Amino acid sequence: MKYFTKEWYELCQKTSFHLLLEEEKQAETFSEEYFQKLYNTELNSWLNLQEEVASIMKNNETVNTYENNEYEPFNRDKAIEQFHDGFLYNQEHLKKELPETILKQIADIRVFALNKATRTVINAVTKFCEDNERSVTATSENYRRYMEEYSNTLDKEIIEKFGFHDCTIIKSVQNDISLTLLLDNTGGFTNIDEVTFESFNIIKQDDLLEDSWWLYEEVYKVNDKYEFHVLLQNKKMGLIDFIISAVQVSFKSNKKSLL
């Protein structure tokens, strides 16, 4: 990838830490008593929300039949465990992703993970996220400009159809002359579920393609061949660079139109 690199994608994940933060003076100093009180307050709010959602689902007669989903009754112990697991994950994620200069200003990362912070910390986190957002946006704008400048050198159908954001690669079929990717496009923005690269050459492939989530793509023309750059993510959240050149690419939709 030249624009939507792994580093760019990771930067995308660092643009929203500030959105849910609320100013709280008690977050200025470490206090076990305050943390326990805050944790229990947030936990109870979470439990009330989950119980309310479960109640709505129970009263919705279509839930039991829609796509064969069965209603799961509210389980308080399970909900408590889910909240705690999410809290621990969020805490470790923040430790990993926030810069040390900001972490040093946080008196208790547990309190911060529950979205409470001092005004000084909120301002620092907001600046960090907004700076990242500007960099992310600038890269997207640069690729848009590239496409505007070079789109006349690319096949119009390829430009319009080669976009599988939020699709999942369920299978790859390879022979001597072609590579076909079968896609689950349920979560995507396309009706195409099969793309075939003809007279291909795999330039880079970090990991297996199967069961990977399609994030972003770039298209280039190099020496009379198309070069497709794709950023994928596997089930373990690992990022995959996949670059393939091909003389031609074709698209297919195996689902009947509902129109």
Q: Are 43 and 255 in contact (CB under 8 A)?
A: no
Q: Measured between alpha carbons, how far is 67 from 137 in angstroms, rounded to an integer? A: 38
Q: Each residue of 138-180: pLDDT tens digit?
A: 999 999 999 999 999 999 999 999 999 999 999 999 999 999 9
Query: Can you give the pTM of this predicted structure?
Result: 0.86
pLDDT at 59: 79
Domain ranges of the chain: 6-133, 156-252
Tokens matching residue 8: 């760019």
pLDDT at 257: 41
Q: Which of 87-101, 108-122, 244-258 has the lowest mean pLDDT?
A: 244-258
258 pLDDT above the threshold of 80: no
Output DSSP code: residue 72: -
Higher local confidence (pLDDT), 88 or 68: 88
CA distance 180 to 111: 49
User: Which has the closest alpha carbon to 210: 169, 243, 242, 178?
Assistant: 169
50 pLDDT exceeds 60? yes
pLDDT at residue 168, rounded to an integer: 97
pLDDT at residue 70 is higher than 80: no
Residue environment code for 210-228, b if the CB has 16+ CB neighbours within 10 A, otherwise e: eebbbbbbbbbeeeeebbb
